[in-house]
């Protein structure tokens, strides 16, 4: 079949409205689309499957995941030079994803009892799980111990006590990482920065907090310190902060050896490698990310046998995902055109949460109109319900058209909600011309089943 972009490039010398970026096809901006995305005779295909056929079969809004893209990026991480790669499940998790992670030989990090239960129930080896979280309950810690979780990352002194008691009760020595805050601010949105001195995660190195936490672990016979953990933030595209963080964590490890004769076997420096969301934006490649960390470790601990672990999530699944919407209404405002779709902040929270920006493309036909200043909005009762802020869309985009939004594999399904009693979309994987369901679409009946209709609550008396 011949291939053709849905929207021809603007005529030379014709500026886009308000200097906006144009809508981007797989041919004009491949960096934001899955590896297999193609425009075939004016229609968008991913994994060899026409997205308009998927919309007819599965409805919209719909999450589409390119299995080949995920596996390709998983292998790049596995070959990046890290000793161990943990997939950060909070980016996107379901039973099928766990099977993909397992088949690619990766470890898995979870940050809740629900994620842990899903992984164990799916058959993932708990010894290859790292359990994160800044407020794990006693029940979650007991479940980690009972299921044989490989490493628990401790985040506060109370948690150290709780975990030690749970491990002792199970007659087990539990391996732990101590999460530290190295005082490095990542160049990213404030909501995604996690490595500074005053954040909710970990023990600050400054003031001796991290040192006291390590000594608290060392004093518990039911706990074994195997590593130190740090993560400075997400959507990072520059490496200077990564190298600096590695240096500071390495210096802390050296301090433990010199001052307390404590040997650290592993340093886990998290994830956070950035991906492109808009045309022309950079991607921090796995090998570059890992090399920056290695450089920082080597400067402080030259020749050390300490092992390096990393935890990519977004950079492994982000551009594998596309969200497909049906246009329900188009209307002109005073300065912008509002293109309303059948989803919104209930399935795409990031634009509302921290003003994340995306591009879009027509999936069902060539849209050939002149570009106009548009904003793709959702169907929820909020002014901030925006899916694609401020984009130059073809003026002939109309009711009934399909819009595809790329780079939505991470933190879209994971953050989806039932706001306005909206059922969450299905997730469909595509590969080699075939599609299979990863997560079924919620129904109104699913939502009604949770309604208790005023059922009495039995109160305990004390």
User: Where in the sequence numbering do the catalytic residues fall?
Assistant: 381
Say if residue 358 carries a ligand binding annotation: no
What would the pLDDT profile of 234-274 be if each residue is shown by its tens digit? 899 999 999 999 999 999 999 999 999 999 999 999 999 99
Q: What's the pLDDT at 21?
A: 76
Say if residue 276 carries a ligand binding annotation: no
Angle at which helices 240-260 and 286-300 cross, to 10°:
40
What three-state secondary structure class fits 117? helix
pLDDT band, very low/low/confident/very high, at 288 (cuts 50, 70, 90): very high
Say if residue 313 carries a ligand binding annotation: yes
**What is the distance of C-alpha 83 from the center of its chain?**
21
- Domain boundaries defined on the chain: 17-66+319-446, 132-310
Rg of the chain, C-alpha, whole Å: 24
What would the pLDDT profile of 204-224 be if each residue is shown by its tens digit? 999 999 999 999 999 999 999
405 vs 243: CA distance, rounded Å: 33
Say if residue 411 carries a ligand binding annotation: yes
What would the pLDDT profile of 350-362 be if each residue is shown by its tens digit? 999 988 999 999 9
CB proximity list for 405: less than 8 A, separation 6 or greater: 322, 323, 324, 325, 348, 358, 359, 360, 376, 387, 388
Q: What's the pLDDT at 418?
A: 97
Backbone angles phi, psi at 158, to 5 degrees: -60, -40
Q: What's the pLDDT at 199?
A: 73
Name the nearest CA neighbour of 110 among 97, 386, 349, 250.
97
Count the alpha carbons within 13 Å of 274 in the hemisphere toward its beta carbon.
21
Q: What's the pLDDT at 18?
A: 75
Say if residue 38 carries a ligand binding annotation: no
Q: What's the pLDDT at 185?
A: 65
213 vs 180: CA distance, rounded Å: 9
Q: How buried is residue 321: exposed, middle or buried, by Cβ count under 10 Å (0-12/13-18/19+)?
A: buried
The counts of H helices and E strands in the chain are 12, 21
Q: What's the pLDDT at 462?
A: 58
CB proximity list for 164: less than 8 A, separation 6 or greater: 220, 222, 223
Say if residue 41 carries a ligand binding annotation: no
Question: Quick check: 179 pLDDT over 90?
Answer: yes
Name the nearest CA neighbour of 435 among 160, 55, 140, 113.
55
3-state helix, strand, coil in the chain (%, to 5): 30, 25, 45
Strand 151-154 to 174-181 pairing = parallel
The pTM is what?
A: 0.92
Say if residue 272 carries a ligand binding annotation: yes
What would the pLDDT profile of 128-165 be if each residue is shown by its tens digit? 999 999 999 999 999 999 999 999 999 999 999 999 99
422 vs 59: CA distance, rounded Å: 14
CATH of the domain spanning 17-66+319-446: 2.40.37.10
What three-state secondary structure class fits 214? helix
The CATH number for 132-310, chosen from 1.10.10.10, 3.20.20.10, 3.40.47.10, 3.40.50.300, is 3.20.20.10
Say if residue 382 carries a ligand binding annotation: yes
CB proximity list for 187: less than 8 A, separation 6 or greater: 236, 237, 238, 241
CB proximity list for 48: less than 8 A, separation 6 or greater: 36, 430, 431, 432, 433, 434
For residues 57-67, average pLDDT? 98
Say if residue 78 carries a ligand binding annotation: no
What would the pLDDT profile of 376-400 be if each residue is shown by its tens digit? 999 999 999 999 999 999 999 999 9
Q: What is the mean pLDDT of the chain?
A: 92
What would the pLDDT profile of 294-345 be if each residue is shown by its tens digit? 999 999 999 999 999 999 999 999 999 999 999 999 999 999 999 999 999 9
Question: Quick check: 447 pLDDT over 90?
Answer: yes
Question: Quick check: 19 pLDDT over 90?
Answer: no
């Amino acid at each position: 079949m011949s291939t053709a972009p849905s929207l021809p490039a603007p005529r030379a010398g014709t500026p886009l409205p308000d200097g906006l970026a144009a809508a981007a096809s797989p041919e004009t901006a491949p960096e934001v689309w899955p590896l297999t995305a193609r425009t075939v005779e004016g229609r968008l295909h991913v994994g060899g499957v026409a997205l308009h056929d998927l919309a007819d079969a599965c409805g919209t809004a719909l999450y589409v995941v390119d299995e080949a893209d995920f596996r390709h990026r998983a292998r790049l991480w596995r070959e990046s030079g890290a000793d161990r790669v943990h997939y950060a499940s909070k980016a996107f998790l379901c039973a099928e994803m766990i099977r993909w992670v397992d088949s690619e030989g990766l470890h898995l990090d979870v940050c809740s009892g629900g994620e842990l239960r899903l992984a164990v129930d799916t058959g993932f080896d708990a010894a290859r799980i790292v359990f994160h979280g800044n407020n794990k309950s006693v029940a979650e810690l007991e479940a980690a111990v009972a299921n044989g979780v490989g490493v628990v990352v401790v985040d506060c002194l109370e948690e150290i006590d709780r975990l030690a008691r749970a491990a002792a009760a199970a007659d087990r020595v539990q391996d732990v990482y101590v999460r530290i805050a190295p005082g490095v601010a990542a160049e990213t949105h404030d909501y995604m920065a996690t490595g500074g001195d005053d954040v909710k995660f970990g023990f600050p190195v400054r003031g001796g907090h991290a040192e006291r936490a390590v000594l608290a672990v060392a004093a518990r016979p039911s706990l074994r310190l195997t590593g130190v953990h740090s993560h400075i933030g997400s959507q990072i595209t520059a490496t200077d902060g990564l190298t600096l963080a590695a240096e500071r964590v390495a210096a802390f490890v050296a301090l433990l050896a010199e001052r307390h004769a404590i040997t650290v076997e592993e340093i886990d420096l998290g994830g956070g490698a950035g991906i492109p969301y808009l045309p022309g934006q950079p991607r921090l490649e796995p090998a570059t990310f890992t090399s920056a960390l290695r450089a920082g470790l080597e400067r402080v601990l030259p020749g050390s046998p300490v092992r390096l672990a990393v935890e990519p999530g977004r950079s492994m699944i982000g551009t594998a995902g596309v969200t497909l919407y049906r246009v329900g209404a188009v209307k002109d405002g005073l300065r912008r055109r509002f293109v309303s779709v059948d989803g919104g902040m209930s399935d795409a929270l990031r634009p509302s949460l921290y003003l994340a920006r995306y591009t879009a493309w027509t999936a069902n036909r060539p849209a050939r109109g002149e570009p106009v200043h548009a904003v793709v909005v959702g169907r929820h009762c909020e002014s901030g319900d925006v899916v694609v802020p401020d984009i130059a869309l073809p003026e002939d985009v109309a009711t009934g058209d399909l819009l595809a939004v790329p780079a939505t594999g991470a933190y879209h399904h994971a953050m989806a909600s039932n706001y306005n009693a909206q059922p969450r979309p299905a997730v469909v994987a595509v590969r080699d011309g075939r599609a299979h369901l990863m997560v079924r679409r919620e129904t109104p009946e699913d939502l009604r089943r949770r309604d208790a209709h005023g059922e009495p609550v039995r109160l305990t008396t004390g």
